[in-house]
Amino acid sequence: MRPIRITAALVAAVALAAGCTGPAEPTQAAPSTAPAAPTTATSAAPTSTTIPGFWYTHEGPDGTWTLETPPQRIVSLSPSSTEILFAIGAGSQVIAVDEYSTYPPTAPTTDLSGWDPNAEAVLSFEPDLVVIANDANEIVAALSAAAVPVYVDAAPFDIETGYAGIIRLGAVTGRTDQAVELIKTMRGGMAAAFAAGPSTPVRLYHELDDTHYSISSASFIGAVYAEFGVENIADPADSDGWGYPQLTPEYIVDTDPEVIVITDLVGYSADDVAARPGWGNITAVRNGNIVTVNADVASRWGPRLPQFAAAIAQALVNAAR
């Protein structure tokens, strides 16, 4: 039996899903302080523990390992991965998730940490696969030493890379067909949102916190904004392409965004933003186009991303009127 390597599964399945659309239906939570520099990682499936012909070989920075049957005791330490696992029908294979994996509500949330993972705590669940967003605390080496396969499901930097990540997660869990279907649905929702956006560029500022860290087009959510053709005011300030530049109030006022986006976890409201000294003349403030979005949907790659895109489309249309 020939091993199915990650690249082969990805190429075939993404090619299948690429041109398909369907009915409309988001890394971790957005940082509330200066974000850490990004790290570089790399069929209705049967409900039984075996899938005829299943054989998965993984090769990557997170190790090399082979599965002869789909994993049945998955621990996910990534909220984005948790959402995807459940959306592709692998929820029954998930036995524990980290403290921030609160969606879907049926996810088996525990006090495990994805930011400060403890190998001993993870191993207490006797997992046959652990999914993480990055190698914090050298968790990969610790779990690999215990012969537990670890899959690093790193945050994507653009939409297509995100779709590819869904396919990889589907392949390793034996849910490739359902992963393809999820991508079809997401593509349909995203296409509908992009089509609903305005035909003229709108100046936009996405605020991560009250110290004015923002999101440029070099980040994943910034790539979504770029698909709308917005004029992202953070782009000129992101000279190193990090994706999360810190702006100054003066810069924001001078660039005069027509839409300001904040999340529901920043600890302040649109009214608080509008009341900032000197911000009254900003077009977005003057016209009431300060949009508050759900922090999880806006910061996680996953099946709810079309919801975020639809909300942004409406905000951009309102600003363009």
| 142 vs 5, residue with greater confidence | 142
52 falls in which pLDDT band (50, 70, 90)? low
| 130 vs 62, residue with greater confidence | 130
- Mean pLDDT, residues 110-115 taken together: 96
- What distance in Å separates the CA atoms of residue 298 and residue 204, rounded to the nearest whole number? 15
Share of the chain above pLDDT 70, in %: 83
The token duo for 185 is 């649905």
Question: What does DSSP say about strands 129-132 and 94-97: parallel, antiparallel, or unpaired?
Answer: unpaired
Q: How far is CA 94 from CA 19, 98, 105, 149, in A?
A: 31, 11, 13, 14
Task: Decide if 4-186 and 197-320 have a common fold.
Answer: yes
Q: What pLDDT, on the 0 to 100 scale, is given for residue 58?
A: 84
pLDDT above 80: residue 6: no
Q: What pLDDT, on the 0 to 100 scale, is given for residue 56?
A: 83
In this structure, CATH architecture of domain 197-320: 3-Layer(aba) Sandwich (3.40)
pLDDT above 80: residue 49: no
- What distance in Å separates the CA atoms of residue 257 and residue 279, rounded to the nearest whole number? 11
Domain range 4-186, CATH class: alpha beta
90 falls in which pLDDT band (50, 70, 90)? very high
- What distance in Å separates the CA atoms of residue 176 and residue 63, rounded to the nearest whole number? 21
The token duo for 200 is 């003229």
pLDDT digits (tens, 9 = 90+) for 265-311: 999 999 999 999 999 999 999 999 999 999 999 888 999 999 999 99
Q: What pLDDT, on the 0 to 100 scale, is given for residue 60?
A: 80
Question: What does DSSP say about strands 56-60 and 63-67: parallel, antiparallel, or unpaired?
Answer: antiparallel
Q: Which of 12, 2, 94, 28 is nearest to 295 (CA)?
A: 28
Q: What pLDDT, on the 0 to 100 scale, is given for residue 2?
A: 32
Buried/exposed 196-224: b ≥16 CB within 10 Å, e otherwise: bbbeeebbbbbbbbeebbbbbbbbbbbbb
The phi and psi torsions of 265 (rounded to 5 degrees) equal -115, 10
Q: What pLDDT, on the 0 to 100 scale, is given for residue 216?
A: 97
Q: What pLDDT, on the 0 to 100 scale, is given for residue 53?
A: 63
Q: What pLDDT, on the 0 to 100 scale, is given for residue 54?
A: 78
Say which residue the tokens 């297509």 belong to: 160
Say which residue the tokens 């869990």 belong to: 173
pLDDT above 70: residue 42: no
- Please state whether the predicted TM-score (pTM) of the whole model is above 0.85: no
32 falls in which pLDDT band (50, 70, 90)? very low
Contacts of 97 (CB under 8 A, 6+ apart): 75, 76, 77, 79, 82, 107, 108, 109, 110, 112
186 falls in which pLDDT band (50, 70, 90)? very high
pLDDT above 90: residue 55: no
Residue type, 193: A
62 falls in which pLDDT band (50, 70, 90)? confident
- Mean pLDDT, residues 166-174 taken together: 95
Q: Which of 86, 173, 89, 171 is nearest to 130 (CA)?
A: 173
Q: What pLDDT, on the 0 to 100 scale, is given for residue 63?
A: 79
Q: What pLDDT, on the 0 to 100 scale, is given for residue 98?
A: 97
Domain boundaries, the chain: 4-186, 197-320
pLDDT digits (tens, 9 = 90+) for 215-259: 999 999 999 999 999 999 999 999 999 999 999 999 999 999 999
Residue 116, by phi and psi: left (phi above 0), alpha (psi -120 to 50) or beta? beta
Contacts of 274 (CB under 8 A, 6+ apart): 280, 285, 290
Residue type, 83: E
